[in-house]
Copies of this chain bind each other. A is one copy, B any other.
Amino acid sequence: MPKLSEEHKQQRIQQILMAAMEVFKRKGYEKATLKDIVEEAGMSRGWIYLYFKDKIEIFEALILDLDQQIHDFVSTKKSHHQSAAKMLRAFIENYKETLLAVDESIYPAIYEFWISGWRDPRAKEFFMNRYEKLVQLFSNLIHEGIEQGEFRPSIPVEDIVKIIMSSVDGILVHSLAFGVKTIDANQQVDHLLQRVEELLNLS
């Protein structure tokens, strides 16, 4: 194989991840194969094996990429001096958009992968790591809001973050299982936001 520049390599990886995203959206996690990803990417199998050992590695890279988008979202808003309250509101309200097309999103595959990994220590570690990083990111955001005098939370900050995270997953899982209309998902998001603002004692 020819030696690729770092930039070229990153381009290839993004190309693989984009193809994988399409495949996982279409087929879910279990039914997607490396062959599907190879075909979607229009690359030879060899190119893909250069960067990823198997389907699991591709999927994990995809999730880390999505998490990076959350981190970038927070960083961008911060660099625009947006208040923590506004950022948190934007983050939670953003789920309404996700819910609009949740059936065709990557979420069914994420939950499939997640749940099939409960009995697998490696997958468990991956998700634990991810959970702790997200708790940290949002805890930091809230602490900054406290320092700026925006919030005076009545309970520990980490508890609030954990409530947000399990509530969001509850709404997403129910939307997928029963449909966004059946569960009144938008209203549930609004109530979650209201609940969070109460817990933070938004001033």
Which residue on chain B has the smallest CB distance to residue A29?
B115
Question: Are A166 and B188 in contact, CB atoms less than 8 angstroms apart?
Answer: yes
Q: Mark A143-173, 1 if CB is under 8 A from B, else 0.
A: 0000000000001001100110111111101
Indicate if the CB atoms of A166 and B174 lie closer than 8 Å: yes
Instruction: State which residues 26-46 of A face B: CB under 8 Å.
Output: 28, 30
Looking at the assembled complex, report how far the CB atom of A113 sits from the nearest CB atom of chain B, in whole angstroms.
10
For A183, list chain B residues within 8 Å (CB): 131, 162, 165-166
CB-based contact B173/A173 at 8 Å: yes
The smallest C-beta distance from A180 to any residue of chain B, in angstroms, reads 11
| A171 to B174 Cα, complex, angstroms | 13
Residue A77 at the B interface, CB < 8 A? no
- Copies of chain A in the complex: 2
Q: Taking A127-B178, A128-B182, A178-B128 as contacts, is the C-beta distance between A166 and B162 under 8 angstroms?
A: no
Does B165 lie within 8 Å of A191, measured CB to CB?
no
Cross-chain contact of A182 among B108, B131, B177 (Cβ < 8 A)? B131
From B28, B158, B163, B167, give the contact of A166 (CB < 8 A): B167
Can you give 29 A-B contacts (C-beta < 8 A)?
A28-B119, A108-B118, A112-B115, A112-B116, A114-B177, A115-B115, A115-B177, A124-B177, A127-B178, A128-B178, A131-B178, A132-B182, A159-B187, A159-B188, A162-B183, A162-B184, A162-B188, A163-B188, A165-B174, A166-B167, A166-B183, A167-B167, A167-B170, A169-B170, A169-B173, A170-B173, A173-B173, A191-B199, A195-B195
Known: A112-B116, A165-B174. 14 other contacts (CB 8 A): A114-B177, A118-B177, A127-B177, A128-B178, A128-B179, A131-B178, A131-B183, A158-B184, A162-B174, A166-B167, A166-B174, A169-B174, A173-B173, A195-B195
